[in-house]
Amino acid sequence: MSVGQRYRVRLAGVIAARADLLLLDEPTNHLDARGLDHLTQAVREHPGAAAIISHDRALLAEIATAFLDLDPTSDGEPLLVSGGLEQWQEARRRHRAAWEDAHRAQQEEHERLRSQADAARSRLSTGWRPDKGTGKHQRQSRAPGAVRALNDRIDRLQEHRLDVPTPPPRLRLPASDTRAGAPLLRVEEVEIERGAGLPPRLPATSLRLEGGDRLLVVGPNGSGKTTLLRVLAGDLAPMSGSVRRLSDARIGLLEQEDDRARSPHRGSPGERRRRALAAVFTPRPDIVLLDEPTNHLGISGVDDLLDALERTPSAVVLATHDRSVLRALAHWPRLELGG
């Protein structure tokens, strides 16, 4: 079974148990449109309570009645918001803006006080060397005032506490130097069979990619989306058809799940996902292949990723079931598999 099909089986078992309290950790990861609709209906009809960890805005908009936001805050306390998705997003936006403003203002004030202390120190130093021809006692008369000014500036600088923590960094992805319109990849009628009596793992597919192209790959679980990306990346050879990479195109592939065994880094799935995205973009590939890239990413990380994808000159092929991503990228061309 595909990754999505395996997740559907696991999720069905949890829901069928009819427990008083449902605890669901990223239940929409890997689910196709049919699975997402079934999950939403099942949670709505659940007679007990449900606590859900999710970055899926579409799901949250349809079922959530309160939000406990565990992302970093300026005071270290979780952000608890009653109401729906819009109320939570507005509260989150206001808090982040206030945090960034407070941090910037405090840093600017600290820099101002440091500059004043440096200026006072400079005046004290030059005050001991009056210009030639001035009174010989001038330095003695100016010194006490300069010393007092310096001590005052130093005291104010030391008393100014930097107690507003630095807001967490936003997801930043390096841009490539790919030339728009440059031919990069040509795929002609590639196909991979599962075996006798089974549907194709990847039906016959053709496409061409040039610098700056965008393509959404959609379809139900098991339709061949991951297989297609692996073929484009050169990790899987088709049984028929041809794949031609032009101009020595550099290709970066983000797989659905980060392999913990191969990753030297620890951390949450979201942290590993951010590192994996950065690793894909760092070599500045001409073609970026993304398989469910928003899995485990926080909502702010998803927004940052979408912004980077709109701006990169690389060609981008993105396979996803994420409904908020599909809505945001509705203007991209689509390739539907298994439809």
- The string of DSSP letters for 2-28 reads -HHHHHHHHHHHHHHT--SEEEEESTT
Asked whether residue 225 is domain-assigned, the answer is yes
For residue 140, what pLDDT band results from cuts at 50, 70 and 90?
low
Asked whether residue 203 is domain-assigned, the answer is yes
Using the 3D structure, point to which of 53, 70, 87 is the last residue of a domain. Answer: 70
Asked whether residue 102 is domain-assigned, the answer is no
Is the pLDDT higher at 184 or at 71? Answer: 184
Give percent above pLDDT 70 in the chain. 88
Q: According to the model, what pLDDT value does residue 95 have?
A: 93
C-alpha angle 274/279/283, rounded to 5°?
A: 145
Give CA separation, 79 vs 53, 63, 69, 72, in Å: 15, 19, 5, 9
Residue 19: CATH number of its domain: 3.40.50.300
pLDDT digits (tens, 9 = 90+) for 233-269: 999 888 899 999 887 899 999 998 776 545 555 678 8
Q: What is the pLDDT averaged over residues 67-75?
A: 90
Q: According to the model, what pLDDT value does residue 177 have?
A: 83
Asked whether residue 41 is domain-assigned, the answer is yes
Q: According to the model, what pLDDT value does residue 261 have?
A: 47
Show the domain range for 42. Answer: 3-70
Q: According to the model, what pLDDT value does residue 199 have?
A: 62
318 and 194 in a common domain: yes
Determine how β-strand 240-245 pairs with β-strand 183-192.
Answer: antiparallel
Q: According to the model, what pLDDT value does residue 130 have?
A: 53
pTM reported for the whole predicted model: 0.70
Asked whether residue 19 is domain-assigned, the answer is yes
Range of weakest confidence among 60-69, 110-119, 158-167: 158-167
324 and 190 in a common domain: yes
Tell me the β-bridge partners of 290: 254, 318
Q: What is the pLDDT averaged over residues 33-55?
A: 90
CA atoms within 13 A on the CB side of 182: 17
Instruction: Domain count for the chain, please give it.
Output: 2
pLDDT digits (tens, 9 = 90+) for 84-125: 999 999 999 999 899 999 999 989 988 888 888 888 778 776
Token reading at 127? 């005050």
Asked whether residue 320 is domain-assigned, the answer is yes
327 and 187 in a common domain: yes
Counting beta carbons within 10 angstroms of the beta carbon of residue 50, is it exposed (0 to 12), middle (13 to 18) or buried (19 or more)?
Answer: middle
Range of weakest confidence among 16-20, 123-127, 290-294: 123-127
Asked whether residue 58 is domain-assigned, the answer is yes
C-alpha angle 292/293/298, rounded to 5°?
A: 120
CB atoms closer than 10 angstroms to residue 218: 19
200 and 322 in a common domain: yes
Using the 3D structure, point to which of 25, 51, 70 is the last residue of a domain. Answer: 70
